[in-house]
């Protein structure tokens, strides 16, 4: 089955640090990758849609200068949380999509804790 | 527009059945069902694309009504492993991105 790898699984760092999260589709080429944020006991909230070779499309209210997305290839997208603050602490999850009307395959998520 | 799920939470004993609903005031392009266990990523269950469609097997199945405004997920003879939060997701205005419902937390007790 389709496998998406996300690293790191957990990050604990000081306020002001920038954190980079990687999302890789291991056995297929993803036309599109998505980045979500999930707070405890809440739903998945889409942050941005990422397509290889083009700028990411951010959802309303998501700061593009704070959450930098780079989609270097059809198998790799990265999310960098710049100058992270405690309110950025959350569970970040990526997903990858091969074709439209197909399942999104999710990575295992990254739990980010900013002290 | 975020689809609405009901109920918000269900507590069952092992072997009992459950139905989770996902509805919208507008026709949906498709409905995707996922299950997420605590601290883990969502796992894909199934997609329904056509009005009137039914999919799955006897233990976990789903339907999509004719008007494509409601989908239901059926969990039969529930097992402990069925515990988790179930989300329905639907493409936003036909785009590839999904908008997820608020989730239904299912707890199965021995």
Q: What is the pLDDT of residue B94?
A: 65
Dist CA A73 CA A87 (whole Å): 30
In angstroms, the CA A22 to CA A75 distance is: 10
CATH 2.60.40.10 fits B4-109, yes or no: yes
> How far apart are the CA of B36 and the nearest CA of chain A, in angstroms?
10
CA angle A86, A89, A91 (to 5 degrees): 180
Residue B15 C-alpha, separation from nearest chain A C-alpha, in angstroms: 26
Instruction: Closest CB to B96: pick one of A43, A91, A97.
Output: A97
**So what's the pLDDT on residue A67?**
97
Mean pLDDT of B83-103: 90
Quote the CA–CA distance of A32 and A96 in Å, as a whole number. Answer: 6
pLDDT 10s digits, B34-66: 999 998 989 999 999 988 899 997 799 999 998
Cis peptide upstream of residue A51 (ω within 30 degrees of 0): no
* CA B56/CA B46 separation, integer angstroms: 7
For chain A (length 115 residues), average pLDDT per consecutive 10?
A: 88 96 93 93 93 88 94 92 96 92 91 96
- Which residues from B are below 8 Å from A109, CB to CB? 39-41
CB pairs under 8 A between A and B: 50
Q: Considering chain B, what is the average pLDDT of its residues?
A: 92
Q: Residue B57 has which token pair?
A: 């097997």
d(CA B55, CA B53): 7
Q: Which residue has the higher pLDDT, B29 or A8?
A: A8
Domain chopping of chain B, boundaries: 4-109
């Amino acid at each position: 089955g389709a496998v998406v790898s996300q690293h790191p699984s957990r990050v604990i760092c000081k306020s002001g640090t920038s954190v980079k999260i990687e999302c890789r589709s291991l056995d297929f080429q993803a036309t599109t990758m998505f980045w979500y944020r999930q707070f405890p006991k809440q739903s998945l909230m889409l942050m941005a849609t990422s397509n290889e070779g083009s700028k990411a499309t951010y959802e309303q209210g998501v700061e593009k200068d704070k959450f930098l997305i780079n989609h270097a290839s059809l198998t790799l997208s990265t999310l960098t949380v710049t100058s992270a603050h405690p309110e950025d602490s959350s569970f970040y999850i990526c997903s990858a999509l091969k074709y439209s009307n197909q399942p999104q395959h999710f990575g295992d998520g990254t739990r980010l804790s900013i002290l | 527009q975020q689809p609405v799920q009901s109920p918000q939470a269900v507590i069952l004993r092992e072997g009992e059945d459950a139905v989770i609903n996902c509805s919208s005031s507008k026709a949906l392009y498709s409905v995707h069902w996922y299950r997420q266990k605590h601290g883990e990523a969502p796992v894909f269950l199934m997609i329904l694309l056509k009005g009137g469609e039914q999919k799955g097997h006897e233990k976990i199945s789903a339907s999509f009504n004719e008007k494509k405004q409601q989908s239901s997920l059926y969990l039969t003879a529930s097992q402990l492993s069925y515990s988790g939060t179930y989300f329905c997701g639907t493409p936003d205005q036909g785009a590839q991105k999904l908008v997820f419902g608020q989730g239904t937390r299912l707890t199965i007790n021995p």
